[in-house]
Chain A
Amino acid sequence: DGGITQSPKYLFRKEGQNVTLSCEQNLNHDAMYWYRQDPGQGLRLIYYSQIVNDFQKGDIAEGYSVSREKKESFPLTVTSAQKNPTAFYLCASSIISTGELFFGEGSRLTVL
């Protein structure tokens, strides 16, 4: 089955710790994205990548880092510099020409 796999689904972190969220896709999509969603809010773009070894900051990149070493993988690290990291994190991929995003199931991060 083609799709996007995010892990873990739920994650608890103590303040001051970095955590890495995994995102893997087997749709052969060139572009991958990370969004953050807070209760009652729309989606806010953290980082995106349209090609291997290249990525761009989105609207709220501070306190986050990414890498794109393989076409299939786009992990997101939430660093201790992110002041309010508790949120629902969504990874997505797309064919650049259509722009249609397909989402993984999400990772819910809670900072204790």
Chain B
Amino acid sequence: QKEVEQNSGPLSVPEGAIASLNCTYSDRGSQSFFWYRQYSGKSPELIMSIYSNGDKEDGRFTAQLNKASQYVSLLIRDSQPSDSATYLCAVRAGANSKLTFGKGITLSVRP
């Protein structure tokens, strides 16, 4: 059974701080990794996708992938109250495989 684990949370950070969200996965053959943001009562929206080891930056968001240690993380710099949401990590084993989602971690950014 492929598993994707996220910190249980919730995570609370002050406005302007860096929020660090972590995710580990069990399938060593996983190839594609995604972070989704979900506001309360809404559907998930894709924030970042990462496919190779290292960092990928997009604005205030940085995804970090370490396949040897089987973890992927999301850093949110200069956190804003509008970043308050649940963040879902998802992992895909191969090109025709389905995604496996973690249970998500709720982030609260305090003004």
Contacts and interface: CB of A to CB of B under 8 A. Distances in A.
A17 interface: no
Interface of B: 4, 32, 34, 36, 42-46, 49, 88, 90, 92, 95-99, 101-104
A105 B88 contact: no
Main secondary structure, interface of A, reads loop
Given A42-B103, A100-B34, A106-B43, 15 more contacts: A33-B98, A41-B103, A42-B4, A42-B102, A43-B44, A44-B101, A45-B98, A45-B99, A96-B95, A97-B95, A99-B49, A99-B97, A99-B99, A101-B46, A103-B44
B58 to A, nearest CB: 13
Contacts, number: 50
Interface centre among A41, A42, A48, A99 (most CB of B within 10 A): A99
Interface of A: 33, 40-45, 48, 50, 58, 90, 96-106
B32 A99 contact: yes
Nearest to A91: B43
